[in-house]
Structure 1
Amino acid sequence: MVAVFNKDVLSWYLITIKLREAVDANLQKSPPPPQDLPLPLTNGAASPPPPTPLQRRQPEQDRPPRSRAQSPAHSPKPQDSEWVIAIRGKLAQARAEEAACPWARLSVYRVPKCLRDGEERAYTPQAVSIGPLHHGRRRLREMDRHKWRALHHVLKRTGHDVTAYLGAVRALEDRVRACYEGRAAGMGSNELAECLVLDGTFVLELFRGALDGGKGFVDDLGYSRHDPIFAMRGAMHAVRNDMILLENQIPLFVLDLLLGIQLGNPEQNGAVASLAVRFFDPLMPTDAPLLRKDRSKLESSVGAAAAAAAFDPLSDPMLHCLDVFRRSLLSAGLQPMPPPPARLWLKKWSGLRRVADKRRQQFVHCVSELREAGIRCRRRNTDRFWDIKFENGELQIPRILIHDGTKSLFLNLIAFEQCHITDIDAPGGNNITSYAIFMDNLINSAEDVKYLHDRGIIEHWLGSDAEVADLFNRLCDEVVFDINDSYLSGLSDQVNRYYDYKWSTWVASLQHNYFSNPWAIVSVVAAVFLLLLTTMQTFYSAYSYYRPPH
């Protein structure tokens, strides 16, 4: 028994040794585990291991030649690292975006940071959000319940189901997203459709109810006379100011579709533009209201689908309400003045002058300097505030009304002209900017504002003349502008040539120093009379000396 037992133990011992040798042999064949983990790159891919000392010392000419198939530029894509694969994906995305060319349909922009620094409030809605860019902001949610009331009134009045509006808007989703900078990517399809229907219906109710002094809210749309929003109370002023902001817009074709469904003609277009002009009339920077015939056209446009073209500026396709308002400001065919022949050669250098530099935006001298050169300012009797003329040393400027919303209005109009490049390149694409820079040049101080106010050119409701001067001086900060493409370019040359004419400067200096008041005039006349008497006395004395009487 003992011998057998020892034999069994020996057999198990030999088997164990064989298994251990087999395990050791497998371990020697496998590569050793890495001692140090490589540092990850920013995108999560592992970095290559550092070169060995031998590799660092080996010169380039001693290394074995690398074949074309092994070079990094021609390595097969399956061997690319995760980092290179991520870069290829970004390039593919850029290529697809470039092929889609979304900028051709952009119309609702985010105001560039360089323009909004220090003027954040002028570009941000304070009472109501319209469209997806400011949708859901906590401080603006209070107005949402009034939007739902407006939608309820529309459905009750028309007998439609809400799905008719939602389905029609969802069919335009791709077209709508292309209109917004950032393509409203943060919103899903359902949320975007709900936002457009809710906000668009709210806007249309305001447009339609504001006709005839706000009586339409009660008589035609069925709202209470005591409604906090739809009764033309104080809140309407803040709502109207918010609806003209660049970032607070809905594409006009969406509003036309929603109004068409309400009127039973989804194919109509143009009626919303007519309503918008009438609604935003109180924001016009002039105290001249719409003509009575134009107002009657606008008020009758709701009942007929053929009311698309109330007047010429609204005959072409428009983008949104801010674009409609801007075109109504520039109505009656505003065209750039052709530059004089001496300035034509500068056109080819205009690209070099598109810089945000105040020194390169100098149109004319300020009012005080123009007065010293004999150039007078006079009010021009027209309701087109931009229609400036210069004749016989007289600068004729239409009256402009400055109120608490004028600054925000002009800032958003200028921002739209800065962002909408295709419109700027066309004639008349920067006319609001041209006017603002021209007035900025004219006004340097409160004294300049006072002079223009005394001439009936500037009427303002602000605290002081200094605030008006500061308003114009800050409108075009960081604005990229080419004075050669301005409609006021030719007029500026005329004013500057007259300013450089020395005789007019001498006459103006004489008037300023010796004819500024009645007593100065009397003194000058008396001095001239005494000078004449002295001259006559000297003459007769010399005459009597050389020809004495006989």
Structure 2
Amino acid sequence: MVFSESIISPCFPEENWVVEIKDILENNGEAKEVVVSVFEVPEQLRAANPVAYAPQLLAFGPYHHFRPKLYQMQRFKVAAAVKAEKDWLVVDFQQLVAQIEGLEFLIRTCYQRHLNIHADTLAWVLAIDGLSLLKVLHSALYYYKNLPGSFGKNPFAEFSKRTPDLDMILRDMLMLENQIPMIVLKAIAEKRPGSDNLLLLVDFCETLSPLQLTFKPSASEVVKHKHLLDLFYQMIICPKEVINTSFKEEKEDELQDSTMEITSNPDCNVFKKLLATLSKLQFRFAALPEKLMTLLLSSLELLGITPHDFFDKDRSWIPTASQLNDAGLKFSTCESINHIKYDNQTLYLPVITLNSAPDPENILSSKLTSEVILRNLVAYESLSKDKSESLPFTRYTQLMNGIIDNDEDVNLLKKANVIKGDLNRVEIAGLFNGLSESIEPKDRDINIDEAITKVNRYYDNTLRVKTNKILKKYIYSSWRFLTFLASFLLLALLALETFCDFYTCRVMRFKAA
């Protein structure tokens, strides 16, 4: 059978494909200089919250530039680019485009997706988007920091009469698929007088980051990063020597021994309902099971074990903040994610600031912006690193998700100043619980996992947890027998009650001596 349809896309002729392959072969040595850094977010991550990964107002770069929904803001970007060209550049726009076009092959290697776009079109797209990105950042920072040159009540007044949603623009700038390679931003900065033009990227990250930043790079260090999101990531994760995180078997065994295995727990509601039914019978001896259970639970509470601890499911890999607090563990703050540790019954965590809405007087981010930042940093880390490398930021979000289960856990971390900001406790719990929905639990980091191991070891050695383990091993594991026994007692008492109702049993009373 002969198919009439060609495997080559109509908008990408075969001749173009041949030319592109020849260019790749001829520039094979040059290709090694730049690795992929602007990735497509996998569907597994995107499905958790699609809005957090796709720009909603401004597209920067070729992935989303021509989307109809976003193209309506093209005039806004062009106006910002024109203003930047007039105020900053020592060359005209055509010369800048020509220089960017000369970097075409290096630029294409930065993008994971094949860019089916002509060289001159790609250069124009990146020139406009790169200039507008830098101009919007410059205007916003100058306005909110009250620096000389800021304009009235609208940070964009110098190039636009409209006042777009700044918080939405900030979210779009920090999305992984919306990044512009640093080699393009460097080419633009070199055409502007001064040697520290890209430091405004550092100021932007410093102002917007929900987490404490570990260092502030110099202008010469900024250009070594791959793009804005990579710079943001490296400022949060303190640069250090590459650590091979392929754990040795003894390390994994130690970690697994310090955590409780996830088992399929029975539904204890059946057993409790049977006891409740027994207690409703009219005979005096029918209340015996309830009294015995009350006595048992009262004894457990003297040891610090509540009915919730006994009947609830086991924790998976780390206790919640409330459980740790009840066991005597405290929380305190540390400098950064790389400094997370457990020492002297205290878990040290970096400070994170979460706000419900952007502050009109500052460039502080809202809950939505913080979520976009966290999600895209996780996506970038997981996609840009080799399987053998450590994933500290991902592991940090997993740790926070593990110790935060509800608003009570958030309240404890707020009291310890680990979490700051005006975002309410329920939304904070939902934020962290949602972050790890599509993250593999095997993602690890040596420093954080060492702290987790020590926390679990301390928690498992407390009297309360040891007693709870013994009870679950010898009593809770026998739930099938207990349920059968309760069912048998219920049927026997019901039969006895029916028999006594039919034959009118006498109630025997004993006189006191």
Which bracket does the TM-score occupy, shorter chain normalised? 0.5 to 0.7
Deviation at 1:376, TM superposition (A): 2.0
Instruction: Give the one of 330, 342, 345 matched to 1:393.
Output: 345
Deviation at 1:43, TM superposition (A): 6.8
Deviation at 1:436, TM superposition (A): 0.3
Q: Relative to structure 1, is the Cα distance of residues 168 and 214 closer, same or farther in structure 2, using a 3 angstrom cutoff? A: farther
Query: Which residue of structure 2 lines up, in the alignment, with residue 60 of structure 1?
Result: none
Q: Relative to structure 1, is the Cα distance of residues 487 and 390 closer, same or farther in structure 2, using a 3 angstrom cutoff? A: closer
Q: Relative to structure 1, is the Cα distance of residues 113 and 440 closer, same or farther in structure 2, using a 3 angstrom cutoff? A: same
Q: Distance in 2 between matches of 1:337 and 1:501?
A: 31
Deviation at 1:289, TM superposition (A): 8.6
* Amino acid across the alignment from 1:490: E
Q: Distance in 1 between matches of 2:197 and 2:434?
A: 36
What is the CA deviation profile of residues 326-384 of structure 1, one whole-angstrom value per residue up to 9, with x for unaligned ones? 1111136498799998834669x9xxxxxxxxx9x955222233234x2423232x453
Structural mapping, 1:121-132, within 5 Å: 121-132=51-62
Structural mapping, 1:345-384, within 5 Å: 363-372=317-326, 374-380=327-333, 382-384=334-336
Q: Relative to structure 1, is the Cα distance of residues 411 and 290 closer, same or farther in structure 2, using a 3 angstrom cutoff? A: closer
State whether residues 169 and 254 of structure 1, in contact with CA within 8 Å, keep that contact through their aligned partners in structure 2: yes
Query: Which residue of structure 1 lines up, in the alignment, with residue 435 of structure 2?
Result: 475
What is the CA deviation profile of residues 364-423 of structure 1, one whole-angstrom value per residue up to 9, with x for unaligned ones? 222233234x2423232x45356322122222323321231221111101111121134x
State whether residues 77 and 132 of structure 2, in contact with CA within 8 Å, keep that contact through their aligned partners in structure 1: yes
Query: Which residue of structure 1 lines up, in the alignment, with residue 288 of structure 2?
Result: none
State whether residues 207 and 279 of structure 1, in contact with CA within 8 Å, keep that contact through their aligned partners in structure 2: yes
State whether residues 378 and 394 of structure 1, in contact with CA within 8 Å, keep that contact through their aligned partners in structure 2: yes
CA-atom RMSD in angstroms: 4.1
Deviation at 1:439, TM superposition (A): 0.8
Q: Relative to structure 1, is the Cα distance of residues 243 and 461 closer, same or farther in structure 2, using a 3 angstrom cutoff? A: same
Q: Distance in 1 between matches of 2:335 and 2:151?
A: 36
Q: Which runs of 5+ in 2 are unaligned?
A: 7-13, 257-312, 356-366, 469-513
State whether residues 336 and 487 of structure 1, in contact with CA within 8 Å, keep that contact through their aligned partners in structure 2: no
Structural mapping, 1:310-321, within 5 Å: 314=222, 317-321=224-228
Structural mapping, 1:483-502, within 5 Å: 483-502=443-462
With the length of structure 1 as denominator, give the TM-score of the two structures. 0.60
Q: Relative to structure 1, is the Cα distance of residues 43 and 367 closer, same or farther in structure 2, using a 3 angstrom cutoff? A: farther
Instruction: Give the one of 173, 179, 183 matched to 1:243.
Output: 173
Q: Distance in 2 between matches of 1:227 and 1:176?
A: 34
Q: Which runs of 5+ in 1 are unaligned?
A: 1-39, 46-85, 302-306, 350-358, 509-550
- Matched position secondary structure for 2:336: coil
Deviation at 1:425, TM superposition (A): 3.6
Deviation at 1:137, TM superposition (A): 1.9
Instruction: Give the one of 308, 326, 333 matched to 2:220.
Output: 308
Query: Which residue of structure 2 lines up, in the alignment, with residue 408 of structure 1?
Result: 372
Answering whether residue 384 of structure 2 is matched by residue 420 of structure 1, we say yes
Q: Which protein has the larger Cα radius of gyration, Structure 1 or Structure 2? A: 1
Range with bigger deviation, 338-347 or 432-441: 338-347
Query: Which residue of structure 2 lines up, in the alignment, with residue 181 of structure 1?
Result: 112
Instruction: Give the one of 441, 459, 466 matched to 2:402.
Output: 441
Answering whether residue 411 of structure 2 is matched by residue 458 of structure 1, we say no
State whether residues 38 and 179 of structure 2, in contact with CA within 8 Å, keep that contact through their aligned partners in structure 1: yes
- Matched position secondary structure for 1:105: coil
State whether residues 109 and 419 of structure 1, in contact with CA within 8 Å, keep that contact through their aligned partners in structure 2: yes
Q: Distance in 1 between matches of 2:244 and 2:101?
A: 45
Q: Distance in 2 between matches of 1:467 and 1:43?
A: 55
Q: Distance in 1 between matches of 2:244 and 2:323?
A: 24
Deviation at 1:200, TM superposition (A): 0.5
What is the CA deviation profile of residues 482-540 of structure 1, one whole-angstrom value per residue up to 9, with x for unaligned ones? 355443111111111112214475799xxxxxxxxxxxxxxxxxxxxxxxxxxxxxxxx
* Amino acid across the alignment from 1:181: Q
Paired residue total: 380
Q: Distance in 1 between matches of 2:145 and 2:324?
A: 49
* Amino acid across the alignment from 2:461: Y
What is the CA deviation profile of residues 469-494 of structure 1, one whole-angstrom value per residue up to 9, with x for unaligned ones? 22111212222353554431111111
Q: Relative to structure 1, is the Cα distance of residues 456 and 484 closer, same or farther in structure 2, using a 3 angstrom cutoff? A: closer
* Amino acid across the alignment from 2:330: C
Identity over aligned pairs, percent: 25
Structural mapping, 1:33-72, within 5 Å: 40=1
Query: Which residue of structure 1 lines up, in the alignment, with residue 506 of structure 2?
Result: none
Deviation at 1:115, TM superposition (A): 0.8
Q: Distance in 2 between matches of 1:367 and 1:376?
A: 9
Instruction: Give the one of 322, 339, 357 matched to 2:229.
Output: 322
What is the CA deviation profile of residues 227-274 of structure 1, one whole-angstrom value per residue up to 9, with x for unaligned ones? 56257977332212210100101100110011101238xxx7x852x3
Q: Distance in 2 between matches of 1:437 and 1:493?
A: 14
State whether residues 182 and 226 of structure 2, in contact with CA within 8 Å, keep that contact through their aligned partners in structure 1: yes
Instruction: Give the one of 113, 119, 143 matched to 2:43.
Output: 113
- Matched position secondary structure for 2:110: coil
Structural mapping, 1:9-158, within 5 Å: 40=1, 105-157=35-87, 158=89
